[in-house]
Amino acid sequence: MSTIADLLRPDLRGRSPYGAPQLDVPVALNTNENSYAVPPAVVAAVTKAVSRVVPRLNRYPDREFVELRTDLADYLQRSGGVAVRPEQVWAGNGSNEVLLHVLQAFGGPGRTAIGFTPAYSMHPIISATVGTRWVDGMRGVEGHGVFDLGVAGVVAQVREHRPDLVLLCSPNNPTGTALPLEIVEAAHDAAPDAVVVVDEAYAEFARPGTPSALTLLEGRDRLVVTRTMSKAFALAGARLGYLAASPDFIDALRLVRMPYHLSAVTQAVASAALTHAPELLGTVEAIKVQRDRIVAELTGLGLDPVPSDANFVLFGGLDDARATWQSLLEHGILVRDVGIAHHLRVTAGTPEETDAFLSAMRELAPTHRQEQPL
């Protein structure tokens, strides 16, 4: 008789599921959540919106979520000055589901996706779930910083592997670095038969002057830009991600989505939140202050933080990253071990959370720093 392991798809055997630790600690800075609670005015608006739809939960929700797509398009136009129409917008239960729709429609057996490691760890996992071959593209191949991407390196790797999908992150997770638009354009032009996805989950935290790939959508039907309301909007628990692309691209996603995949409650919560975008985004600047403070103070401790355009900081210079992770946990602080030797990633939280993290690092740094060669 076959076991479950025997029945599992061969390409999934031996794999580990995604899992960031969910521990009860005083200071949780490991999953890039927004540390600030939803403002009372937004709570009231969301509660009122949900109360309106609850009596009608006996009926299926709007399958096309037209009101929400209109609200998302309006937000993108207001915040980025880019003309995005509702028919160019798609949404799902978190940006991971949106990315899954893209991989379901344009990936699959016999097709290849490429990303540039280190990058968002869910990209290869989502690719695997739909049987898409994953290629770990390399960073730092042009002799620049180990985490840097350059036009020549991206173009060379895209041409070599001839992928069906190219996945880019800007700002990148876990490094926090944003991409110049020249790289997006170069990847798009070097892969004329591929979908190019730019994951902009942390776009609202970017430093002034950082461009969005939304400005490149016009005339590029194979380009997709994904966003989320989990981070800057402080709505990780609501699970609402979205993308902008051409109307033809959106039509293709309808072929793979489950019927009525966005509940009436999710649609109501997201639309109500979007009407209060200024209040929800009011913490972004405060978080950026803490992010830049972390970079400056870790540098002063002799560590090697990466300047970030996101709401987190990747920092290196640790002798044993896992040992530092454990020591921070013993101080009641949970950060993220992203599997990069000598590095950890910390979310920029409230001033009090940053105080706790930096206080612990001031204590730990003298004995946890990586020895520098003479």
Per-domain boundaries in the chain: 4-38+282-368, 40-277
Cα Rg for the chain, rounded, in angstroms? 21
For CA atoms 20, 25, 29, 33, give the dihedral sign.
positive
- Cα–Cα distance for residue pair 166/168, rounded to 1 Å: 7
SS3 101: helix
Nearest residue to 9 (alpha-carbon basis) of 131, 133, 103, 135 = 131
CATH of domain 4-38+282-368: 3.90.1150.10
Cβ atoms of residues 335 and 321 within 8 Å: no
- Collapsed DSSP state (helix, strand, coil) of residue 93: coil
| pLDDT of the residue at 288 | 98
Containing 28, the helix (H) or strand (E) segment is strand 27-28
What residues contact residue 140 under an 8 Å CB cut-off, 6+ apart? 146, 147, 148
From residue 362, give the alpha-carbon distance in Å to each of 18, 303, 308.
Answer: 31, 11, 21
Q: Which residues are CB-contacts of 45 (< 8 A; sequence separation ≥ 6)? A: 272, 273, 275, 276
Q: Where are the alpha helices (DSSP H) in the chain?
A: 4-7, 40-53, 66-80, 95-106, 122-129, 151-161, 181-190, 247-253, 264-275, 277-280, 284-300, 321-330, 351-368
pLDDT attached to residue 372: 67
Phi, psi dihedrals of residue 116, rounded to the nearest 5° = -115, 105
Cα–Cα dist 159/191, whole Å: 7
pTM of the model: 0.95
Residue 15, pLDDT score:
85
Q: Is 244 helix (H, G, I), strand (E, B) or coil?
A: strand
Other beta carbons within 10 angstroms of residue 351's beta carbon come to: 12
Quote the pLDDT of residue 145: 74
- Tell me how crowded residue 117 is: count the other CB atoms within 10 A of its CB: 15
- In CATH, the number for domain 40-277 is 3.40.640.10
Contact 163, 112 (CB under 8 A): yes
- How high is the pLDDT of residue 374? 46
The Cα 301–Cα 293 span in angstroms is: 12
C-alpha 333/C-alpha 151 separation (Å) is: 38
In a 10 Å sphere around its CB, with 0-12 CB exposed, 13-18 middle and 19+ buried, how is residue 357 labelled? buried
**Series of mean pLDDT values for 10-residue runs along the chain (374 residues):** 90 84 93 97 98 98 98 94 95 98 98 97 96 95 80 96 98 96 97 97 95 96 98 97 98 98 98 96 97 98 97 98 98 97 98 98 96 62
Decide: helix, strand or coil at residue 57.
coil
